Amino acid sequence: MTDKYAQLVNQGIGRNVARKLGLPRPAVLRRYRPGQALVTGPVVVQGDSAAADKLAAELLTWDLDVRRHAVPREKLGAIILVLDEVAHPEDLERPVLAAAGSLRDLDAGARVITVSRPAAEAGTPAAAAARQGVDGFLRSLAKELRAGATGNGVLLAEGVEVSSPSALAAVRFFLSGRSAFVDGQFLTVSGNGGSLPDDTGRPLAGKIAAVTGAARGIGADIARTLHRDGATVILVDLPAAGDHLAAVANEVKGTALQLDISREDAGRKIMEHAVQRHGRLDVMVHNAGITRDKLLVNMDQARWHPVININIAAQLRINEALLASEHFGPAPRIVSVASTSGIAGNRGQTNYAASKGGVMGMVRATAPLIARAGGSINAVAPGFIETEMTARIPFALREIARRANSLQQGGRPGDVAEAIAFLASDAAGGINGEVLRVCGQNMVGA
C-alpha cells in the first residue's frame, strides 16, 4: 500500500505547499540497501568511560569516520552517547548537554544511540535513577529528532562489555538502514554469546529458516529478506494459499510447505520437512496470525478461539516440538511476530491483544530454556505497517494511525523483516527474551 500523502509532500509543488501551510512532512527514511554505507557521515562517540574508548576503537575497524568530539557545523551521521558508568542523575548533565550542541548538525536519516546499563541491575537507588533517566531521556529525544533521524538504546547487562559481539551487533543494527522504522527503543544484551557483526551482506549464509504465514504480506517479505541475507527458506502457509506460497517460494528459491499450523502435529511436520530437505532447522519465524475484531461485549467463541489458537497456542506447540528435536540448531533461533496491540491494547481487539501479549510472555519464559541449547528467542512487535490488512481500515482512522508516531508515517513489511533477520543472525546470539518494537515510536511514552 502506498502512502500517497507522504509522496505528495516530499516532491515539487506539494513540498512547497506543505511548508507554507505547516503540514506534517514525513521524511523519506534511510532504509537498507545491499552495498550501501552503514551511515551517511562522521560518527561522534561521546563519553569518558573506558567503554567509550573501546567502542570508538571498534568502530574505526568498520571503516567509519569516528570522532571523539564534534566539529561545529559539520554534518553528522550519528551520535553515540556511552553512559555505562553513570551513578547519579547529576552525571547525565554534562554528556547530554554536550550532545545537545550537535543535534542541529545531524544529517537526514542520522542516528542517536545510547549505551548504558539496565536500571534493574543497579546497586544503589541513585544509580538506578540515573540509568532509568537514560531511558526517559532517549525516548523523549527520539520524539524531537527530524528528517528521518532515529534514537535508540543498547543496554549492557551485568558482565557484558561494549566490545561483546552482540553489543556491537546491536550498535551496528541501530546505525544501519535496517532499523529505519525502529525509534525510541532499547535492546538489552544479556550475554556474551554471538559472533562479530557480519559486513558481507549475507549474515544468514548457510542457515535453514522456516517462516509461517509466508504466502503474502509481512511473511513474504520476511522470506525475501532471509533469502537475501543468505538463508535457505522453508515457506509455510495454508493449503488455500498454495498458489501464492509457491510463487514466493520460487522467487526466493526455497521450498513450500502447505500446512495448517493449528494442527497438533504442525511442529513435527515442519521439522520433518526441514530434516528431509536440509538435515536440520536453524531458524523458526512465527509470523502467521489472524484477526477477528469485535468489542468484547459482542465477542463469541467463534471469534475468540481461532485467534488464540493460531496466534499463540500454535507457537507454543511448535516450539515444544522444535526444542525436543536434536535437529534444531546447533545455535537455534526463534523469532515471533507480536504486536504493539499486545502492549498498549486496542479497542475491539481483546482477543488479538491477548494473543500478542501471550507471544511476549512466551518469549520471555522460553528464553532460559533455549539458552541451554545455545540459542535465543525474541519477538518483534510491529506498529502500523502498510499491508493489505491496514489498507482496509477506514480512511480517517488509517491516516491517524499513520501519522501518530515520531516518524509520521506507516512502516513497510520490509521494516519488520529487517528486524527479524537481525535477531535471527549469529551476531544477535547474546540477545535473548527481548521484544523489539518496529513502530516508529507510535505510543505515548514508549
- pLDDT tens digits, 238-268: 999 999 999 999 999 999 999 999 999 999 9
20: its cell numbers: 507554507
Which letter, b or e, does each residue of 392-415 get, where b requires 16 or more Cβ atoms within 10 Å of its Cβ? eeeeeebeeebbebbbbbbbbbbb
Per-residue pLDDT reduced to its tens digit, 289-312: 999 999 999 999 999 999 999 999
Question: pLDDT digit string (tens) for 404-440?
Answer: 899 999 999 999 999 999 999 999 999 999 999 999 9
Residue 268 to residue 201: CA distance in whole angstroms: 32
- Give yes or no for a contact between 400 and 151, defined as CB atoms under 8 angstroms apart: no
- Given a cut of 80, is residue 14 above it in pLDDT? no
pLDDT for 444 equals 46
Kindly report the backbone phi and psi dihedral angles of residue 378, in degrees, each rounded to the nearest multiple of 5, phi listed first: -145, 170
Segment 83-100 mean pLDDT: 96
- The pLDDT of residue 18 is 60
Confidence of residue 216 (pLDDT cuts 50, 70, 90): very high
Mean pLDDT of all residues belonging to the chain:
93
Beta-carbon contacts of residue 429 (< 8 Å; ≥ 6 apart): 165, 166, 191, 193, 194, 195, 331, 374, 376
Instruction: Respond yes or no on whether the N-terminal peptide bond of residue 330 is cis (omega within 30° of 0).
Output: yes
Q: Which residue has the cell 482496509?
A: 392
Q: For the structural domain made of 208-438, what CATH number should be given? A: 3.40.50.720
Pick the CATH number of 31-189 from 2.60.40.10, 3.30.70.2470, 3.40.50.720, 2.60.200.20: 3.40.50.720
Work out the pLDDT band at 23, boundaries 50, 70, 90: low
Between 3-17, 98-112, 384-398, the lowest mean confidence (pLDDT) is in: 3-17
Amino acid 9: pLDDT: 65
User: How far apart are the C-alpha atoms of 178 and 38, rounded to whole Å?
Assistant: 10
For residue 85 the three cell numbers come to 558508568
Q: What is the pLDDT of residue 445?
A: 46
The pLDDT value given to residue 199: 67
- Domain positions in the chain are 1-29, 31-189, 208-438
Higher-pLDDT residue of 56, 443: 56
17 CB contacts (<8 Å, ≥6 apart)? 9, 23
121-173 pLDDT, tens digit per residue, is: 999 999 999 999 999 999 999 999 999 999 999 999 999 999 999 999 999 99
Q: How much is the pLDDT for 5?
A: 66
446 pLDDT more than 90: no
* φ/ψ bin of 433: left (φ > 0), alpha (ψ from -120 to 50), beta (otherwise): left
The residues annotated with a catalytic role in the active site are: 352
Question: Comparing C-alpha atoms, which of 250, 233, 231 is closest to residue 242?
Answer: 250
Torsion of CA 364, 366, 369, 373, to 10 degrees: -100
Q: What does residue 180 show for φ and ψ, rounded to 5 degrees?
A: -55, -35
Q: Residue 342, SS3?
A: helix
> Which residue has better confidence, 13 or 117?
117
pLDDT at 271: 98
Q: What is the pTM of this model?
A: 0.94
Shared fold status for 31-189 and 208-438: yes
